[in-house]
Amino acid sequence: MSIFSYNGAAIVAMAGKECVAIGSDLRFGVQMQTITCDTPKVFKIHDKLYLGLSGLLTDAQTLHQKLMFRHNLYKLREERDMKPSTFGHLLSNALYERRFGPYFAAPVVAGLEPDGTPFLCGMDTIGAIETAKDFMITGTSPESLYGMCESMWRPDMGPEELFETVAQCLMSGFDRDALAGWGAVIHVITKDKVISRTLKTRMD
């Protein structure tokens, strides 16, 4: 079995009109055994920046801790939060530093730049960065997630519509994945607040 499908994850991020949404499933499992159903794979970096990490969960957690550490230092020195685009490149660099012994994690970065424009990017396990204007996904069932997102994404969606779209894409995507699911959490980031919702889904 591939190291990337040892734990299982499904993460979808989408851009709307002056808002972004990012969501993940809640399953934590070891190969085919499910251990808990309350493990989100999306982490907050600051109010306008969220990071989703799929792959081996231990590496996802460690990467998150290392990046929080870097961001805290940045905040102390710069006296402001890091821009999402800067964070994306920081993460890409941090992953490439481990080119020949990588973190087995694939990140998706979603946030709002200081001027309010949505920012989305994704990377592979060694930091090859790719930005997108529409959506970014990662997980153990990328084909299912891509299919759903390509069909359902439209430009200039508002926060409520964006939430619905991400929710449906995520849920229908992970319903065909044996290793992801068991609930979902979705964060919608707008310029004044973040609305986080937990979804009740099939628990199989």
Partner 1 sequence: MDTTLPSTSTPVSMGTSIIAVTFDGGVILGADSRTTTGNYIANRVTDKITPLCDNVYTLRSGSASDTQAIAGYVQHFIAQHQAEEGDQITVKTAANLVKMMAYNNKDFLQAGLIVAGFDKHGGGQVYSISLGGTMTATPFAMSGSGSTYIHGFCDKYWREKMSEQDAMEFVTRALRYAMTWDASSGGCIRTVTITAAGAKRQFIQGSQIPPTYGELSREQVVA
Question: DSSP state, 5?
Answer: G
25 sits near partner 1 (criterion: CB under 8 A): no
Question: DSSP state, 129?
Answer: E
190 sits near partner 1 (criterion: CB under 8 A): no
Q: Which token pair is 192?
A: 């004044």
Of 115 and 194, the one with the shorter C-beta distance to partner 1 is: 194
Measure the CA angle with vertex 19, ends 60 and 156; round to 5°: 125
Count CA atoms within 13 Å of residue 21 on its CB side: 30
> Looking at 15, 137, 183, 190, which residue binds partner 1 (CB under 8 A)?
183
> Looking at 11, 28, 29, 91, which residue binds partner 1 (CB under 8 A)?
29
- Cα–Cα dist 167/151, whole Å: 14
Residue from 33, 22, 109 nearest 8 by CA? 33
> Looking at 62, 89, 142, 172, which residue binds partner 1 (CB under 8 A)?
142
29 close to 183: Cβ distance less than 8 angstroms: no
Mark residues 45-84: x for contact with partner 1 by CB under 8 A, - for none: -----x----------------------------------
Q: Which residues bind partner 1 (CB under 8 A)?
A: 1-2, 4-5, 8, 26-27, 29, 31-34, 37-38, 40, 42-44, 50, 106, 124-125, 140-144, 175-179, 182-183, 185, 187, 196, 198, 200, 202-204
